[in-house]
Amino acid sequence: MSYHCERCDRYFSPRGFEQHRRASQRHFYCDEHDMDFTSWVGLKEHWVQSPEHYYCQRCDKHLDYEEELEEHYEHEHHYCTEHKRVFYTPKGLKEHYVQHTDHFFCQYHNQHFDYVDEFLDHAERQHYVCRDCERIFGTSEKKEIHDEKHHPDDYW
Ligand SMILES: [Zn+2]
Ligand SMILES: [Zn+2]
Ligand SMILES: [Zn+2]
Ligand SMILES: [Zn+2]
Ligand SMILES: [Zn+2]
Ligand SMILES: [Zn+2]
């Protein structure tokens, strides 16, 4: 029994077909999902989209395990383990920390806190804080502007 490769219009033995698929420049094959792509770009896109592939697009690196990819993200890039999101600049991660209410992050000290109480205590000692909004401010002016805007009733 022989295999016909339609894309290449050639005949192979089953073994030869497998070898052909791997070696040929016309086939980009994912062993894991048994999927055959017509281009390198197509295969990479599949790697990016499939949660079963651990692929760093930025480095064009395919890893075997999720932990390996996370480790790679942590070492080579900037990674939020909580939200499993990767950032390629320290600024990107910092902005994520500031914006996301799940994170207790002091942008002035570049410091991440595990608990909101710890964070608010720090903020109260070192900065200006609105406990209602769990937000911190670098100057008293900024805090006042915030109060006027968000808490006009408390503001005399
Ligand atoms: Zn072929
Ligand atoms: Zn695959
Ligand atoms: Zn990478
Ligand atoms: Zn996060
Ligand atoms: Zn601080
Ligand atoms: Zn507030």
In a domain, 139, yes or no: yes
Residue numbers of the domain that contains 123: 103-156
In a domain, 108, yes or no: yes
Amino acid at the residue 34: D
Q: Which pLDDT does position 155 carry in this prediction?
A: 54
Q: What is the residue-averaged pLDDT of the chain?
A: 93
Q: Which pLDDT does position 121 carry in this prediction?
A: 94
Per-residue pLDDT band at 141 (split at 50, 70, 90): very high
In a domain, 63, yes or no: no
In a domain, 155, yes or no: yes
Query: Average pLDDT, stretch 1-26?
Result: 91
Calculate how far, in angstroms, residue 81's C-alpha sits from the geometric centre of ligand 6.
28
Calculate how far, in angstroms, residue 108's C-alpha sits from the geometric centre of ligand 6.
18
Percentage of residues in the chain with pLDDT exceeding 90? 84
In a domain, 136, yes or no: yes
Bridge partners (DSSP) of residue 136 are: 129
Amino acid at the residue 154: D
Q: How many domains does the chain have?
A: 1
Q: Minimal CA–CA distance to 133: which of 118, 116, 114?
A: 116
Would you say 134 and 118 are in contact if contact means Cβ atoms under 8 Å apart? Answer: no
In a domain, 89, yes or no: no
Q: Which pLDDT does position 133 carry in this prediction?
A: 87
In a domain, 149, yes or no: yes
Q: Which 3 state secondary structure label does DSSP give 22?
A: helix
In a domain, 137, yes or no: yes
Calculate how far, in angstroms, residue 59's C-alpha sits from the geometric centre of ligand 3.
4
Task: Name, in order, each residue with C-beta under 8 angstroms of 149's C-beta and a sequence gap of 6 or more.
Answer: none
